[in-house]
């Protein structure tokens, strides 16, 4: 006597439920949207507008000295930015330049800072042995 075959065998499912993947993707999108503005480095400086062409990227290291609207000085060397007194800034720049003389130096000055503060920063950089200083501006919106 032959046994009757069972018809309840499970067939392989040919569809993939993608709803959980979409949920994960949306959560990651929200996380990146929230954290991306926080990754912007630098001091809150309102830069003046200029219609100058941007400088060419070089393979040299870049050091950025900044002055905010309150007249506080900041130094960004290799992505590490810190508030610093002008005399300490000059010493730190001198040390960096002694180790790597090809380091480019850029100055970011808030448009509302007194002109004398930016000049004081540039004089301190010159005293530290910086031969050339680049000024950072916002692109002209015209």
Percent of the chain with pLDDT strictly greater than 90: 10
Q: Which CATH class is domain 62-137?
A: alpha beta
- Which pLDDT belongs to residue 83? 87
- Which pLDDT belongs to residue 25? 94
Q: With 80 as the cut, is the pLDDT of residue 119 above it?
A: yes
- pTM, 2 dp: 0.57
In this predicted model, what pLDDT tens digit does every residue of 31-65 receive, in sequence order? Answer: 988 887 766 555 566 656 666 665 555 556 788 88
* Domain ranges within the chain, ordered by starting residue: 62-137
Is there a contact between 89 and 73 (Cβ–Cβ < 8 Å)?
Answer: yes
């Amino acid at each position: 006597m032959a046994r009757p075959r069972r018809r309840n065998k499970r067939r392989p499912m040919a569809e993939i439920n993608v709803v959980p993947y979409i949920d994960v993707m949306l959560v990651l999108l929200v996380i990146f949207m929230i954290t991306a503005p926080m990754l912007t480095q630098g001091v809150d400086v309102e830069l003046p507008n200029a219609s100058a062409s941007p400088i060419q990227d070089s393979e040299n290291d870049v050091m950025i000295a900044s002055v905010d609207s309150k007249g506080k000085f900041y130094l960004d060397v290799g992505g590490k930015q810190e508030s610093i007194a002008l005399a300490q800034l000059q010493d730190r720049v001198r040390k960096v330049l002694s180790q790597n003389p090809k380091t480019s130096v850029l100055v970011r000055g808030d448009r509302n800072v007194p002109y004398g503060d930016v000049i004081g920063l540039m004089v301190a950089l010159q005293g530290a042995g910086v031969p050339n200083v680049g000024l950072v501006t916002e692109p002209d919106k015209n």
